[in-house]
Amino acid sequence: MADALRNELLTVPGIAGAEVDDSGGVAGVRVQLAAGADAETVGVAVRRILISHGMRPSTTSTKDGGDAAPEDVPGEEETPVAGPPPPPGAPGSVVSFPLVGEHALAESTTDPVPALESVAVEERQDGVSVHVRTTAGARTVRTVDPSGSDMDVSVAAAVAELVGNPEAELLGTAESEIAAHTILTVLMGVGDDRLSGSAVQRGGRAFAMARAVWAALERG
């Protein structure tokens, strides 16, 4: 788990290095900011990743050699406070993200973080529909064009609603082959933002599409 979490942290723009404290269970992470990276923006992304892994990050992060400084955490009512960014070319700070509770397992104090559970395509006399469900029991349905040509768009719209970004739209998809596996990548648009996500297609395309869209919007 520690290696997977470290690798995911390293995909965040602005992170040059990452360490996971996994002594007896994950208790916190430390990230090395790239020169000129915005600590507040990186902090929000790191906390979202920790939450997606079922962990409960503390409401404060600590820069090595400095005082703890609160940053934005989804769901918290704290006002973000950020110091001035380092000058261009300066070494990035090391920021620690302690986790709350023994080994920071969110399950011990909070409800599990919802995840994608299933995607079902239903064909009836009156048309075709796609049903998307999360592990928390939330579900949504989208009607698909009878020809099935807008299946990707319908799946993306259903997932976008479930993750709380109903305005998100599918801008494009791409498939690639890596080590005999098909990788499905999506580009989502949320206002002026462009978000991407990928998933390995192990079965039907609809489920891989849903997983890729979920990954894009959860990190955005």
Give me the CATH number covering residue 180.
3.30.160.270
Do 6 and 104 fall within a single domain? yes
Name which of 103, 105, 141, 134 is nearest 118 in CA terms: 134
Name the stretches of the chain with pLDDT < 70. Answer: 1-2, 22-27, 53-54, 56-92, 98-113, 220
Characterise 210 by phi-psi region: left (phi > 0), alpha (psi -120 to 50), beta (else). Answer: alpha
Predicted confidence at residue 64, as pLDDT, reads 57
pTM over 0.85: no
Please give the residue range of the domain that contains residue 78: 2-108
**What would the two tokens of residue 101 be?**
């509770």
Of the three residues 57, 81, 108, the one that is the final residue of a domain is 108
Do 14 and 30 fall within a single domain? yes
Predicted confidence at residue 218, as pLDDT, reads 84
Predicted confidence at residue 60, as pLDDT, reads 56
Residue 175, C-beta contacts closer than 8 angstroms, at least 6 positions apart: 182, 183, 184, 185, 201
Predicted confidence at residue 84, as pLDDT, reads 42
